A and B are shown apart, each in its own frame.
Chain A
Amino acid sequence: MEHAAGVEEFPRFETSKMGVWIFLFSEVLLFGGLFATYAVFRSLFVQDFARDHRELDVTLGAINTVVLLCSSLSVALGVASIQRGKTRPLKLCLGVTILLGFVFLVIKYFEYSGKFAHGIYPWTSSFFSIYFLMTGIHGLHVLGGVIALSLMLFWAFQGRFSATNYVRVEGTALYWHLVDIVWIYLFPLLYLVA
């Protein structure tokens, strides 16, 4: 209510943003179920976790962490620029974010295929069941985010966004930050756990 936006735009703005936040709550609970499973398995199979996590490539995981952090930064910069009505930096930032999302997925693809090449599959052990399911569901979220960001980029080229109309970009950015945050937890729990 402290915003000085026009009466016409203001409620739709707040309403959409609230919807996104409520959706993000449910996403936290979705990953919460998976993290709870992780906690149970970690306490049941301490040795297996200590042994199996060494199979993961910490370097690739760390690169992916940096990639996602940078993508979060670029999408935030995109929102900041459209808030000032600048559409060209918005397009640039969205493009960079999409690119980084792809980079993340490609690195993930090489990680997965490397595991399969070494005979490691989701059914190999409890650790790898958890690893493949959590990173898999997270990967699907990255893919969904890339699709949503591409739609935003398409709309940006159509000139749909302005300093008073950017709520969809903002909502997508919020979602992208959540995807990033989940990875921030996944990386140490899966790659660095000892």
Chain B
Amino acid sequence: MMSESAGVQAAHAAHAHHEELGFLRTYVFSTDHKMIGRQFLFLGLLMLVVGGLLAMMMRWQLGWPETPVPGMSWAPEPYMFEGIIPPQTYNMLFTMHATIMIFFAVMPIMIGCFGNFLIPLMIGARDMAFPFLNMLSFWTGAVAGVVMLAGFFVPGGHAASGWTAYAPLSASAIYTGVDWGQNLWNISLIIIGASSLMGSINYITTIINLRARGMTWFRLPLVIWSLFITAILLLLALPVLTAALAMLLADRMLGTHFFLPAGGGEPLLWQHLFWYFGHPEVYVLVLPAMGVTSDVLSTFSRKPIFGYRAMAMSMISIGFLSWIVWGHHMFLSGMNPALGTAFMMSTMVIAVPSAIKTFNWLGTLWGGSIRLTTPMLNGLAFVSIFVIGGLSGVFMASTPVDIFIHDTYFIVAHFHYVVAGIVFGLFAAVTYWFPKMFGRMMNETLGKIHFVLTFIFFNLTFFPMHFLGVAGHMRRIWNPLQYEFLQPLQGMNQFISVSAFLLGLSQILFLVNLCWSLFAGKKAEVNPWHANTLEWAAPSPPPHGNWGEHLPVVHHGPYEYSVPGVEEDYLPQTTPHALPVTAGH
């Protein structure tokens, strides 16, 4: 390890000197991990807006079915009829909302942006192990995004078989009328799979090989642990999805019989392959937010993280368990009850590491000098939202209860509390590392107003969905008023829709804050939050090569806050300390 980092240091010190790259190499085809991180951030935010607008249109249709969506009368037929959303378009909306949010918003931001920006900085490296591959990863991701968006403009419209693309619905154009939309959906996901693969190879290799002197495994910040496990999950899950997508594409374009029962195919096979990828994917989405939250909570409680090793180990066990629970998505798809019970047990076991994380977060807060900054508020919100989402997950995991609430709004509420709750981790991350990324502070007042509005309207939007679900409101239905038993619930649907619109509008504050701070924010100090981790030892924003002449040397763990005998209430990882410190040995 020592000789390796010394070698890399020498290699990169030579590299860091021939500077002055042109505009194209600095901002467009950059191999600098920080610029690639920023590129992923803006790609993700753009797609987050697109995905959010799709959700707003769905909420209009559910609140006021078959009335013209305000401001959408320009949309051409057959997508919309003078602003009215037809069933086909509604199917497209929920399909693309989920696809875009998962693959093009949360993954690029949490993994693409923060993985790239933070990993080399927090482990004390000058860049990723494979900078060129890193650039390629962003640009293949961008191509995938273009292909995905192109699907909206082809005849027949975009994919309309749900983001899970269950066969046979997805396997033949005769069911949904969607032809090239679904093909482009498949192709785009195969391309983004390649992009993620390049990212994971980089992340894993970098974290294993390029840690600075003294940066042992148990001195890594938890956000790096979370990204490491995420990268492994991606590496092992996405190829299986790629294989399944190739088969689905072959069914659609070559006429093979993998998933179409008419020719001897097996639709259940798609579900198995998809969820073999799909469940680890859930943890791919949520683990980085957990890591971010751990770092933010410790910094702003001015206390070491409670149970550092337990936090790392619980993430490892979540990662492991995520491989053996995929069947819980398929309890009602036709499954041997004995197998269902096995999947129920393995799923419930995930509650153990999740609870370890939650209680350790609470333990971190306990007795701390809590500073309610914007990132801290968002981190706290992530914890509370995750608890609700985790608890509602236990209902679904239990097979007898799942029979009742499967494919209702209860599940919609559950997965939005888990995966849409990630936006709080996302906001925490953006507001926490914005000073390091762009060298300027974000506006705290605006940030707090945005947080409060988002937190309130998030809960007003998603919590009532539990009630709708228990009352029998199916997910993915175009017009709830078609069902007599759902008509009395229409008031709640409208309430949810209004809350969703206000939730959407609140995000304008975030975008305003982000754009304004980019250009006019207060200049950030090197270490504005008085945090310990390595990235705060580099200038804000860090230059190409990050560290100047010498790589940092790490002396202890990342969470040494309020150490007795130390004058300040923080002890950066680069500062040697004579007293024995507890964590990280």
Q: How far is the CA of A129 from the CA of B266 in the complex (A)?
A: 12
Cβ B244 vs Cβ A33 within 8 A: yes
Extra contacts, 7 of them, besides A14-B4, A18-B204, A37-B273 (Cβ < 8 A), are A7-B10, A11-B8, A12-B7, A26-B238, A33-B241, A33-B243, A48-B264
The reply on A45 being an interface residue by CB < 8 A is yes
What would 20 A/B residue contacts be, using CB atoms closer than 8 Å? A8-B7, A8-B11, A11-B11, A11-B210, A12-B8, A19-B129, A29-B237, A30-B243, A31-B243, A33-B242, A33-B244, A33-B276, A36-B273, A37-B269, A44-B266, A122-B254, A123-B256, A125-B257, A129-B256, A132-B254
Q: How far is the CA of A137 from the CA of B266 in the complex (A)?
A: 20
Q: How far is the CA of A29 from the CA of B10 in the complex (A)?
A: 36
Determine the residue in chain A with the shortest Cβ distance to B203. Answer: A22
A40 partner, pick from B8, B238, B256, B269, beta carbons under 8 A = B269
Cβ B250 vs Cβ A40 within 8 A: no
Cβ B266 vs Cβ A41 within 8 A: yes
The reply on B543 being an interface residue by CB < 8 A is no
Q: How far is the CA of A21 from the CA of B250 in the complex (A)?
A: 29
Determine the residue in chain B with the shortest Cβ distance to A20. Answer: B201
The reply on A133 being an interface residue by CB < 8 A is yes
Q: How far is the CA of A10 from the CA of B256 in the complex (A)?
A: 48
Cβ A22 vs Cβ B264 within 8 A: no
B130 partner residues in chain A, CB cutoff 8 A: 15-16, 19
Q: How far is the CA of A142 from the CA of B366 in the complex (A)?
A: 58
B269 partner residues in chain A, CB cutoff 8 A: 37, 40
Binding site for B on A (CB under 8 A): 1, 7-12, 14-16, 18-19, 22-23, 25-27, 29-34, 36-37, 40-41, 44-45, 48, 121-123, 125-126, 129, 132-133, 137
Interface code B113-134, partner A: CB below 8 Å = 1, 0 otherwise? 0000000000000000110010
A29 partner, pick from B240, B246, B263, beta carbons under 8 A = B240
Q: How far is the CA of A45 from the CA of B6 in the complex (A)?
A: 58
A30 partner residues in chain B, CB cutoff 8 A: 239-240, 242-243
Q: How far is the CA of A34 from the CA of B256 in the complex (A)?
A: 14
Size of the chain B interface, CB-CB below 8 angstroms: 46
B201 partner residues in chain A, CB cutoff 8 A: 19, 22-23, 26
Determine the residue in chain A with the shortest Cβ distance to B270. Answer: A37
B209 partner, pick from A18, A23, A132, beta carbons under 8 A = A18
Cβ B254 vs Cβ A12 within 8 A: no
The reply on B400 being an interface residue by CB < 8 A is no
Contact A29-B250, Cβ < 8 Å, known A7-B10, A18-B208, A22-B201 = no
Q: How far is the CA of A31 from the CA of B247 in the complex (A)?
A: 12
The reply on B413 being an interface residue by CB < 8 A is no
Cβ B129 vs Cβ A123 within 8 A: no
A12 partner residues in chain B, CB cutoff 8 A: 7-8, 11
The reply on B333 being an interface residue by CB < 8 A is no
Chain B: minimal CB distance from A18 (Å): 5
Q: How far is the CA of A43 from the CA of B444 in the complex (A)?
A: 61
Chain B: minimal CB distance from A130 (Å): 8
The reply on B26 being an interface residue by CB < 8 A is no
Q: How far is the CA of A129 from the CA of B240 in the complex (A)?
A: 18
Q: How far is the CA of A121 from the CA of B208 in the complex (A)?
A: 46
Contact A11-B257, Cβ < 8 Å, known A26-B238, A41-B266 = no
The reply on B165 being an interface residue by CB < 8 A is no
Cβ A129 vs Cβ B3 within 8 A: no
Cβ B209 vs Cβ A8 within 8 A: no
Complex A-B, nearest 4 residue pairs according to Cβ-Cβ distance, in ascending order: A33-B243, A30-B239, A129-B256, A123-B255
Cβ B243 vs Cβ A34 within 8 A: yes
Cβ A15 vs Cβ B3 within 8 A: no
A27 partner residues in chain B, CB cutoff 8 A: 239
B247 partner residues in chain A, CB cutoff 8 A: 34, 37, 133
Q: How far is the CA of A132 from the CA of B254 in the complex (A)?
A: 10
Q: How far is the CA of A65 from the CA of B7 in the complex (A)?
A: 42
The reply on B205 being an interface residue by CB < 8 A is yes
Contact A15-B205, Cβ < 8 Å, known A8-B11, A44-B266 = yes
Taking CB atoms and an 8 Å cut-off, the chain B residues in 455-493 that contact chain A are none
Cβ A29 vs Cβ B239 within 8 A: yes
B200 partner residues in chain A, CB cutoff 8 A: 22, 26
Contact A133-B246, Cβ < 8 Å, known A22-B204, A29-B240 = yes
A29 partner residues in chain B, CB cutoff 8 A: 235-237, 239-240
The reply on B258 being an interface residue by CB < 8 A is yes
Taking CB atoms and an 8 Å cut-off, the chain B residues in 517-543 that contact chain A are none
Q: How far is the CA of A121 from the CA of B276 in the complex (A)?
A: 29
Cβ B250 vs Cβ A133 within 8 A: yes
Chain A: minimal CB distance from B232 (Å): 9
Q: How far is the CA of A37 from the CA of B268 in the complex (A)?
A: 11
Cβ A15 vs Cβ B236 within 8 A: no
Cβ A132 vs Cβ B256 within 8 A: yes
Cβ B257 vs Cβ A129 within 8 A: yes
Taking CB atoms and an 8 Å cut-off, the chain B residues in 202-245 that contact chain A are 202, 204-205, 208-210, 235-244
Chain B: minimal CB distance from A189 (Å): 15
Interface code B256-295, partner A: CB below 8 Å = 1, 0 otherwise? 1110000111100100110010000000000000000000
B257 partner residues in chain A, CB cutoff 8 A: 123, 125-126, 129
Q: How far is the CA of A7 from the CA of B6 in the complex (A)?
A: 8
Q: How far is the CA of A15 from the CA of B3 in the complex (A)?
A: 13
Chain B: minimal CB distance from A44 (Å): 6
B205 partner, pick from A8, A22, A45, beta carbons under 8 A = A22
A16 partner residues in chain B, CB cutoff 8 A: 130
B264 partner, pick from A11, A34, A122, A126, beta carbons under 8 A = A126
B256 partner, pick from A18, A122, A137, beta carbons under 8 A = A122
Determine the residue in chain A with the shortest Cβ distance to B263. Answer: A123
Q: How far is the CA of A18 from the CA of B130 in the complex (A)?
A: 11
A7 partner, pick from B7, B238, B243, B255, beta carbons under 8 A = B7
B238 partner residues in chain A, CB cutoff 8 A: 26
Cβ A32 vs Cβ B240 within 8 A: yes
Cβ A11 vs Cβ B235 within 8 A: no
Interface code B122-165, partner A: CB below 8 Å = 1, 0 otherwise? 00000001100100000000000000000000000000000000
The reply on B55 being an interface residue by CB < 8 A is no
Cβ A19 vs Cβ B250 within 8 A: no
A48 partner residues in chain B, CB cutoff 8 A: 264
Chain A: minimal CB distance from B580 (Å): 29
The reply on B514 being an interface residue by CB < 8 A is no
The reply on B380 being an interface residue by CB < 8 A is no
Cβ B4 vs Cβ A122 within 8 A: no
The reply on B350 being an interface residue by CB < 8 A is no
Contact A11-B209, Cβ < 8 Å, known A1-B3, A19-B130, A129-B257 = yes
A126 partner residues in chain B, CB cutoff 8 A: 257-258, 263-265
Cβ A10 vs Cβ B210 within 8 A: no
Determine the residue in chain A with the shortest Cβ distance to B6. Answer: A7
Contact A23-B208, Cβ < 8 Å, known A30-B240, A132-B256 = no
B430 partner residues in chain A, CB cutoff 8 A: none
